[in-house]
């Protein structure tokens, strides 16, 4: 597991929860405060804050700096990265084939005479 | 985001300055496989490969983390084995006994396929070998997968709207 894979797992773990996905879908319509987010879900403020913290740590949500409201906004960059599992695998495979190439180079002196 | 419009597959074409049979061994000989498959800093202590149609594979990736050694196990079955030409196998996360663990169990969202398929096609071109690797998800039609896809569609639309501005 590379660093990227670890980060990916974190993001996916954050996205794996239906309430958190709903929060993101709500934020897709524009920034909102914690109070505004809590309302439609009928859950307590501490509970919604916990979800938001998970999303924030996963890099999916940014929070404003204004102490009173600290509105939440969607961080699109990370979503773009994780939009498909396949796109996440591409750099992993590219790195593997770079290593394969390097390994083949190391083997080369040994197989000089054995080539078909 | 992808160059071929298909978001459910990784397709990579590479050319290696090596004979076809050696590239075949990179995928089918545990010793060669272990030399390149794991990420830097990871070891492949187990690579069991019964390379024939229906044969199983079991691969362990081991890496050092701040919390100690972490092992990840992967299992699968060979679906097509045409020596030096075409290799197709499935892959799922598993335990050390090769019992498949679902993507959801592993903390992946429901829409992440539990089983994926890796296809390797080799072709001798001049003095080198052309390799096309295709990694595709095998769809599972769980209701969760649909919810996940819908949520992502909405978010993707938002992301696109942002980048169009």
Q: What is the pLDDT of residue B149?
A: 54
* In-domain check, residue A32: yes
Could you say which of A12, A96, A116 has the minimum Cβ distance to residue B36? A96
Could you say which of A1, A24, A83 has the minimum Cβ distance to residue B39? A1
Report DSSP letters for A35-78, one per residue. Answer: HHHHHHHT--HHHHHHHHHHHHHTTSEEE-S-TTT--EEE-HHH
pLDDT at A15 over 90: no
Distance from CA of B4 to the nearest CA of A (A): 12
Number of domains composing chain B: 1
Q: Do B112 and A85 touch (CB under 8 A)?
A: yes
The 10s digit of each residue's pLDDT in A86-101 is 776 788 899 999 999 9
Q: What is the pLDDT of residue B131?
A: 96
Q: What is the pLDDT of residue B60?
A: 95
* In-domain check, residue B155: no
In this structure, what CATH number is given to the domain that contains residue B35?
Answer: 3.30.530.20
Domain housing B61: 9-139
Domain housing A46: 3-82
* In-domain check, residue A15: yes
d(CA B53, CA B7): 28
In this structure, what CATH number is given to the domain that contains residue A11?
Answer: 1.10.10.10
* In-domain check, residue B60: yes
* In-domain check, residue A9: yes
Distance from CA of B7 to the nearest CA of A (A): 6
Number of domains composing chain A: 1
Q: What is the pLDDT of residue B144?
A: 47
* Chain B contact set for A9 (CB, 8 A): 107-108
Decide which of A3 and B11 is more confident. Answer: B11
Q: Which of A95, A98, A10 is nearest to A54 (CA)?
A: A10
Percentage, residues of chain A above pLDDT 90 = 17
Q: What is the pLDDT of residue B3?
A: 37
* In-domain check, residue A24: yes
pLDDT at B143 over 50: no
* In-domain check, residue B46: yes
pLDDT at B68 over 70: yes
Mutate to test the interface with B, among A23, A97, A105, A115 (most CBs of B within 10 A): A97
Phi, psi dihedrals of residue B123, rounded to the nearest 5°: -150, 135
Q: Helix and strand tally (H, E) in chain B?
A: 3, 7
* In-domain check, residue A40: yes
Average pLDDT over residues B115-128: 93
Distance from CA of A38 to the nearest CA of B (A): 19
Which position has the token pair 């039609």?
B141
Distance from CA of A99 to the nearest CA of B (A): 5
Q: Do B36 and A100 touch (CB under 8 A)?
A: yes
Average pLDDT over residues A101-114: 78
Interface of A with B in 13-42 (CB under 8 A): 13, 15-16, 18, 21-22, 24-25, 28
- Chain mean pLDDT for chain B: 82
Whether chain B has a CB inside 8 Å of the CB on A90: the answer is yes
Average pLDDT over residues B4-32: 86
* In-domain check, residue A44: yes
Which position has the token pair 């597991």?
A1
* In-domain check, residue A98: no
- Chain mean pLDDT for chain A: 79
Asked if residues B159 and A83 have their Cβ atoms less than 8 Å apart, the reply is: yes
* In-domain check, residue B163: no
Q: What is the pLDDT of residue A26?
A: 82
Could you say which of B1, B109, B148 has the minimum Cβ distance to residue A87? B1
Phi, psi dihedrals of residue A20, rounded to the nearest 5°: -70, -35
pLDDT at B140 over 60: no
Q: Residue A11: which pLDDT band, with cuts at 50, 70 and 90?
A: confident
Residues near A37 by beta carbon (within 8 Å), at least 6 away in sequence: A23, A26, A27, A48, A52, A72
The 10s digit of each residue's pLDDT in A57-75 is 888 899 887 766 788 888 8
| Plot region of A30 (φ>0 → left; ψ -120 to 50 → alpha; else → beta) | left
Percentage, residues of chain B above pLDDT 70 = 75
pLDDT at B82 over 90: yes
């Amino acid at each position: 597991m590379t660093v990227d894979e670890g980060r990916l797992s974190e993001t996916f773990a954050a996205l794996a929860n239906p309430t958190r996905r709903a929060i993101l879908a709500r934020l897709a319509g524009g920034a909102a405060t914690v109070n505004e987010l809590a309302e439609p879900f009928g859950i307590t403020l501490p509970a919604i804050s916990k979800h938001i913290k998970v999303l924030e740590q996963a890099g999916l949500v940014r929070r404003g700096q204004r102490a009173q409201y600290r509105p939440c906004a969607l961080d699109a960059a990370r979503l773009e990265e994780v939009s498909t599992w396949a796109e996440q695998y591409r750099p992993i495979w590219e790195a593997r084939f770079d290593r394969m190439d390097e390994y083949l180079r190391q083997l080369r002196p040994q197989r000089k005479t054995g080539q078909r | 985001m992808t160059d071929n419009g298909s978001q459910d597959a990784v397709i990579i074409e590479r050319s290696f300055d090596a004979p076809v049979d050696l590239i075949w061994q990179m995928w089918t000989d545990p010793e060669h496989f272990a030399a390149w498959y794991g990420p830097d800093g990871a070891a492949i202590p187990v690579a069991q490969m019964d390379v024939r149609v229906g044969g199983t594979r079991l691969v362990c990736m081991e890496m050092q983390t701040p919390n100690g050694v972490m092992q990840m196990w992967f299992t699968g079955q060979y679906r097509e084995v045409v020596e030096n030409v075409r290799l197709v196998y499935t892959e799922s996360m598993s335990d050390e006994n090769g019992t498949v663990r679902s993507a959801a169990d592993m903390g992946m969202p429901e829409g992440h396929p539990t089983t994926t398929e890796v296809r390797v096609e080799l072709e001798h071109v001049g003095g080198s070998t052309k390799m096309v690797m295709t990694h595709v998800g095998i769809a599972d039609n769980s209701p969760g997968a649909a919810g996940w896809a819908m949520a992502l569609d909405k978010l993707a639309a938002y992301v696109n709207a942002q980048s169009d501005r």
